[in-house]
Structure 1
Amino acid sequence: MKDTNKHQGLRNQLAKVLEEKGITDKNVLEVIKKIPRHLFLNSSFEDFAYQDKAFPIGAGQTISQPYTVAFQSQLLEVKKDDKILEIGTGSGYQTAVLCLLGAKVYSIERQNELFKTTSLLLPKLGIRPKHLSFGDGYKGLPNHAPFDSIIVTAGAPIIPKPLMAQLKIGGKLVIPVGDKDQVMTMLIRKNETQFEKHEFGDFKFVPLLENKN
């Protein structure tokens, strides 16, 4: 597992591209510069790893476009030791970004093949989420709730009620909502029953599937 000066140069370029596209959070940009994205991809994609594109990672899933990862991370405004629930571990790249931003990350993956691969990969890279689990993201992790933030990395036709219930008051849920195209949506929990909703334009994600285990 090599990470070279060339890779570092490509990461610096990628961070510049993301900044030009409107990512302003300096912490997020610094983390993008640190994480060896090529190691999260099949080696056949290594030469393209630092393009701002999504790529297949097996099990019908993709590693999100770096801009999307950065955009969602920026919306969360991660503070050190924030307890964050991630729905859809996937390749582990978004997990790594959150960990390097200082969050305590609890992540769920519903594809066993990806769960196994990523569970082995992250520790090799020195990245240690608080909790990785194999299960149904729609249900969240009620035993570990409440969370400061929840991030969903797959398109959901609706916002799952269990996830809303697992958010702290003042907490944020960032989720792409829709069928074919999704609208990036952020809910901020105001109290036990009220949520403030913000929308941030169209994105494309693989679908969030439930009860597949």
Structure 2
Amino acid sequence: MSTSYTTLSVTNQTQKSVEVYVTFAASNSANKCCPSPVGISDFSFLTKVNKLMAKFELGAGKTQEFDPKGACFSGNICFYIEPQCPVSGADFNHGAQGTSIAEFTLNPNTPCAEAFDISCVNGVNSFIAMEVDSDGGWNYGPNKTPISRIFNKALQQNSENPGVFPVNCTDCIQLVGDKPCPSLPLGPAQKERICNIQRSGRGGTLKVILTDPDLL
């Protein structure tokens, strides 16, 4: 591990350039884990969309590094379009089945855990993998099962797939409240709470990778 804190990278494994949308957590003094997270102004290559969202273009086969310099970095990444439920008349990558996002919190205050997952709660418009060092201490579920790579599958194929929130399953194993994306089906949900990957350590790089089903 090259640093005492955790960095993030975004890689485009597809054969076409893609727009990448980054949504940042807001500053919140009540959040004892991450009261003052990094934001748009901390990364010069970003173009502002709104107060908490920015975007950048990522060429085919290219990687963009994010170095939070030890500060808390919490948010999500969505490819092609802003995170949203199905867009009328859209093609697949532009939200015909909603949008899949990579979620993460890195370098929170001790003793809070680092965490990441892939949320298909609002659907699937891309296939995302997230990778970490195999010796990084990352784990999931009630048995704290070690893991170093997660990825999402198609819309209703994520049950028993660790690190992934299935469609409309806001609480991993169930829907709580109204469907966030009413036009999409529900689940199937996870049978156990395996949606979130966590660890107590720091260091290394969390890799967010836009890929396709043939490379998963």
So what's the TM-score if we normalise by structure 2?
A: 0.31
Task: Give the number of the structure whose residues are more often helix, by fraction.
Answer: 1
Structure with the bigger RCO (C-alpha within 8 Å, sep 6+) is 2
Higher fraction of strand? 2
TM-score (norm 1): 0.31
